[in-house]
Structure 1
């Protein structure tokens, strides 16, 4: 397929007390709405099945593991795959993954329109910290509960379109986009759970946080001539607000659809993948214009060195 009707399925808050079954029911309702609007691909947020549990400090590993999925699909999530298959809709969503070897990842998967998982991504750029930080207004313990992803930024052929995934903080790192861009990616899907307040700078404000999120996605899309879908889980989760701002962005970096709430909301856009080709063959024709002899620092060091 070279043209997709894409739905960005923003989700409102998920409370600590909400069951997986209740959350999946909400996802099914969004999926049904997407089917009514002719969608062929629906993208859900990061950690779509649970509250954003890394805000809570936990020492008991069994308490931590409660938030993780041991198989995908499992008993609770299988209805989502079955409904997507019935509708002929490909889906992508994020969840906390516990592997058979006991490893913990912040993960997203991608299916084809037959409900088969064809791609998996594990979050690489984990924000936050490991131990309880009394100086923060609230905790952000992704580095405590997850390992950095080990699958890289791969792309997947989904019915003739090259698709890639990243998660939340990954969107802020240009390397994320360029690695997929160098594979010819045509659609980047990302979910996020981004607090409305900066735990280390309460004065930053929601407007600036939304701007920086959108800037990261629009610039990444433009500089790699790719469509992008960025989908939030938003709203007040047990007193902790998450921002919305879900968007669909074209290969020129323009927002073509935008959510206007912090609740369950579906936004859609018809996305012609052939529109990626102009940028990929002109200003961002990497084969002609990249000068890799000058880029060594990008992979040879992490922190700033003079």
Structure 2
């Protein structure tokens, strides 16, 4: 019997600074209802789904940014989303800014089962950007100022009849993200992102270039670990700053099976057979037969480029 997870990639259009949590939750509920009507049982929303992408704004007082963070999950403003998911029997995943009781700040995402219970949490590990205001940049990208690197690793959960993992935005560009989950047998990776259309440090990189790199990263991660990948954007122009879309679902063979062609709220629904992951995992990416970990030491020994290991022949 096939193991079908009918997933809805729920792209959000722009969220402005002036938009309230209630307005955003109403939009998310509307997308959930659309997804349910199309037969979906699992809905995936973007990174920082509840707010604008606030790391583009510099605050000298770091605490001023706490207005964008959730102190509890669910909380009074997000409880209606959990209630609707439970009422519809819909599993979900979404990203948000997490402020812990100890005062720690993370860029997080969660897995919520059909009963409305949080069963998994991930905290973004590969934080891009910078800490202090940079006048040389076309726009600011201050994730390193407002978040700590995640401290939960890349776990995989038994969820919706398969093995599920999470990643967030810049994580998708790092092959280690997928491989750590791949070594746990992951069958679906869900990730949300808010990606600017312009590279703040390069005038030569176009929006088309950035979409190419987005697809390349997701498709490679899917193929090289024989897993489904559901990549979901927040898109459009937020307070004058453009985020590209490109919400897509990639199959375990790396092929894109669906992609959203606009930058507004919308759902992409696809039945994903988790058994489609088995062929790749049993053949070219049968890790236990083919990996040679004795030669991979530099991956964990170095964080940056160091001296080459090769020596001249005969030396």
State the TM-score, normalized to the length of structure 2.
0.96
Q: Are 1:11 and 2:47 counterparts?
A: no
Q: Are 1:290 and 2:291 counterparts?
A: yes
Q: Which has the larger radius of gyration?
A: 2
Q: Distance in 2 between matches of 1:57 and 1:245?
A: 27
Runs of at least 5 residues in structure 1 that lack an aligned partner in the other structure: none
**Map 1:200-211 → 2, pairs under 5 A:** 200-211=201-212
Deviation at 1:113, TM superposition (A): 1.4
Runs of at least 5 residues in structure 2 that lack an aligned partner in the other structure: 308-315
Describe the SS at the equivalent of 2:229: strand
Match of 1:168 in 2: 169
Match of 2:310 in 1: none
CA deviations on 1:197-251 (whole Å, 9 max, x unpaired) are 1111132111110000010000000000000000000000000000000000110
Q: Distance in 1 between matches of 2:9 and 2:44?
A: 5
Deviation at 1:115, TM superposition (A): 1.2
Q: Distance in 2 between matches of 1:60 and 1:80?
A: 31
Q: Are 1:226 and 2:222 counterparts?
A: no
Q: Distance in 1 between matches of 2:208 and 2:63?
A: 38
Match of 1:23 in 2: 24
Q: Are 1:42 and 2:43 counterparts?
A: yes
Q: Distance in 1 between matches of 2:74 and 2:140?
A: 30
Match of 1:138 in 2: 139
**Map 1:149-188 → 2, pairs under 5 A:** 149-188=150-189
Q: Distance in 2 between matches of 1:228 and 1:222?
A: 9
Deviation at 1:114, TM superposition (A): 1.3
Q: Distance in 2 between matches of 1:269 and 1:202?
A: 36
Aligned length: 306
Match of 1:124 in 2: 125
Deviation at 1:191, TM superposition (A): 0.3
Q: Distance in 2 between matches of 1:130 and 1:6?
A: 36
State the TM-score, normalized to the length of structure 1.
0.99
Deviation at 1:59, TM superposition (A): 1.8
Instruction: List structure 1 segments (4+ residues) > 3 angstroms apart after TM superposition.
Output: none
Match of 2:148 in 1: 147
Match of 1:112 in 2: 113
Deviation at 1:60, TM superposition (A): 2.3
Describe the SS at the equivalent of 1:66: helix
RMSD: 0.8
Match of 2:251 in 1: 250
